[in-house]
Amino acid sequence: MNLPQIRLESNYAKIKMNTQQPIQEIEQPKAELDIQQPAADLEINRTPSKLTINQTKAREDIDLKSIFKRMDEAAQLGYEGWLEGIARRSQEGDELMKIENGGNIIAEQAARNAYSPMLEFNIGWLPHQGSVEIGYDPGKVEINVTPNKPIIKSRINKPNIQYTPGKVNISLKQYNSLKIDFENLKYVGINYEQSI
């Protein structure tokens, strides 16, 4: 049995898009930096240390005396000997004045003046301990430091930007279409008739 049929065949429209990607280039130049560090101000005040060694007494202990010291000692010994001589003569004169009191004063004085007195000697150390005088002044060191701040100069460089915009090209790849096909229908006038 042949039934009337209307066949529709349609095709959608198709578009075609060609895309050109955008290009962006960014270049960032380095910043210009200038740093200067002034040296710190350094001031050093120093009082030098002082070492004094006085070995005059040690040298005198081993009989290495200066001529001035020897002259002073000789003058002192002469003065002391002169005083002792005066005292001895005075004492002997007093003894002879009293000769009438008896005794053998002249013989005693002769025996006393004939012999030198006995000298005493003991163990000693030369030079004596503490005969070298040592003095030390350590001195002083004053340090003054004044730091100086760094001098920093910077200049920022702007970035270099290049931009190429993209493009989109749109075209029609396929047109739309509609195909109508009739089967088992007859067109008569303004109506369709069906023949069975």
- Maximum pairwise Cα distance, the chain: 214
3-state secondary structure of 42: strand
- DSSP letter for 149, please: -
Higher-scoring residue by pLDDT: 2, 133: 133
Do 34 and 154 meet the contact criterion of CB atoms below 8 Å apart?
A: yes
pLDDT at 2 over 70: no
Highest mean pLDDT among 87-91, 129-133, 188-192: 87-91
| Residues 148-153: contacts with CB under 8 Å, at least 24 apart | 148/37, 148/38, 148/39, 148/40, 148/41, 150/35, 150/36, 150/37, 150/38, 151/34, 151/35, 151/36, 151/37, 151/38, 152/33, 152/34, 152/35, 153/33, 153/34, 153/35
Question: What does the pLDDT read at residue 196?
Answer: 44
pLDDT mean over 47-71 = 88
- The reported pLDDT for the residue numbered 65 is 84
- Pairwise pLDDT comparison (117 vs 47), residue with the higher score: 47
Q: 191 pLDDT band (50/70/90 cuts)?
A: low
Per-residue confidence band for 187, with pLDDT thresholds at 50, 70 and 90: low
For the segment 139-160, the average pLDDT, to the nearest whole number, is: 92
> Stretch 128-143: mean pLDDT, rounded?
89
Q: Global pTM?
A: 0.39
Q: Using H for helix, E for strand and C for coil, what is the string for 117-139?
A: CCCCCCCCCCCCCCCCEEEEECC
Q: Mean pLDDT score of the chain, rounded to an integer? A: 86
164 is written with which tokens? 């190429």
The three state secondary structure string of 43-60 is: EEEEECCEEEEECHHHHH
